[in-house]
Amino acid sequence: MNIKRIIKINYKVDVKELIKLDGGFRNECFKVDDGKRNYIFIIYKKGKSIKSSITNAHFVAEYLKKKSFPTRVPIQTENNEKIIQIECEDGMHFASLYNYLSGETIPWEAYTRRHIKSIGKTLSDMHFYLRNVDIPSELHFKNWKSDTIKEIKLMRKYFKDVEPWIEKKLKVKLNWNVIDKLFQFIKTIEQHDKCILHYDFVRGNILFSDRLNKKLDTYPICGILDFEKVCLGPKVADIARTLAFLIIDCKYKNERTVRKRFLKSGYRKRGKSDFFEDSKKLDMLIHYFWLRDFWKFLVHNPYEYLHMNEHYKRTAEKLLKKKYIIP
């Protein structure tokens, strides 16, 4: 597969340098330099609904771009296409070329209060603009609640199937009494404030500037990536997903401080959207995302090596403290 030739034929871009980038969950990402400007070329993972996910992501990213958000948007081909198909060793894949965004992701130990406030503010602003979007009829966004109910079924089945191995290899037990109460509560969450959710607004998808905005006392976000998980749901689910990740990510800050900087100083004070959700709903959703991440760790990693994963260890510690798993 000659990627330079594919880009040349479809986009009329003469590639001077092509660099494969690390990261990306099963997607292949390349930095493209034509001598004048940079691009990002993404070859997407295979999947039953992957084209729909890419199309939805493009719609949301382009919509937010018009509202002055720093999003990565697709560049059209000579035939005005935003998605192309290319032949790879394992068959046909969808791919797209995008504008390049400057800035950098920061290591988890480098979070400051100014980064946390900036994340809260930006998510709040996104929710403000995505609350009443007129979605074209040809697009089909996933529903957060129905997808979450399906996810709970998968999670329960997996945990039941591997329960003996969890006890044997990880030396912990699943506390089904507490887990079942959590699952039941999540199923009752209503969607009265439904909007389009990013649903993956976490460190790897956020690029920061290193130039301080003195007026807002934040390091501005200069790049928002990966809209493939966009869905329709209550904004509290988006807030909880980001906050659950932040609490784990901010190794040198306590949970109370992270919540205050993100919610009070960032989302409410500096952002355009309001948020006065009851604390129990937010807490239970945060717990759900920790349990969900625990499940994902188990699915994608050999149990024997999990003790070497700092994110897994910190997630397990939270679940032990909340008694979703017990010694």
Mean of pLDDT values over 22-46: 90
**How many of the other CB atoms lie within 10 Å of CB of 272?**
12
pLDDT at 297 over 80: yes
What confidence tens digit (pLDDT) does each residue in 74-113 have?
999 989 999 999 988 889 999 999 999 988 898 888 899 9
Higher local confidence (pLDDT), 238 or 109: 238
The most distant pair of C-alpha atoms in the chain lies apart, rounded to whole Å, by 60
pLDDT at 165 over 90: yes
Nearest to 197 by CA among 157, 232, 145, 152: 232
Mean of pLDDT values over 167-186: 97
Mean of pLDDT values over 196-216: 95
Residue 92: strand, helix, or coil: strand
Q: Which domains does the chain have, with CATH numbers?
A: 14-99 (3.30.200.20), 108-326 (3.90.1200.10)
Q: Measured on CA atoms in the order 248, 252, 256, 260, is the torsion positive or negative?
A: negative
**How many of the other CB atoms lie within 10 Å of CB of 323?**
11
Helix (H) or strand (E) holding 7: helix 3-11
Helix ranges restricted to H, 135-251: 144-165, 176-188, 235-249
In whole angstroms, give the CA distance from residue 100 to residue 41.
Answer: 9
Q: Which residue has the tokens 């871009």?
A: 13
Sheet of 38-43, strands arranged across: 17-21, 28-33, 38-43, 91-99, 84-88
- Residues belonging to the chain: 327
What confidence tens digit (pLDDT) does each residue in 117-158 have?
999 999 999 999 999 899 999 999 999 999 999 999 999 999
**Given this model, what pLDDT does residue 306 score?**
95
In whole angstroms, give the CA distance from residue 121 to residue 108.
Answer: 19
Q: What confidence category does residue 23 fall into, taking pLDDT thresholds of 50, 70 and 90?
A: low
In whole angstroms, give the CA distance from residue 271 to residue 245.
Answer: 20
**Is residue 218 within 8 Å of residue 209, measured between CB atoms?**
no
In whole angstroms, give the CA distance from residue 119 to residue 132.
Answer: 22
Helix (H) or strand (E) holding 297: helix 279-300
Angle between helix 176-188 and 144-165 (nearest 10)? 170
Q: What is the average pLDDT value for the chain, to the nearest integer?
A: 95
Mean of pLDDT values over 269-293: 93
In whole angstroms, give the CA distance from residue 105 to residue 227.
Answer: 16
Q: What confidence category does residue 60 fall into, taking pLDDT thresholds of 50, 70 and 90?
A: very high
Q: Which residue has the tokens 């980064």?
A: 115
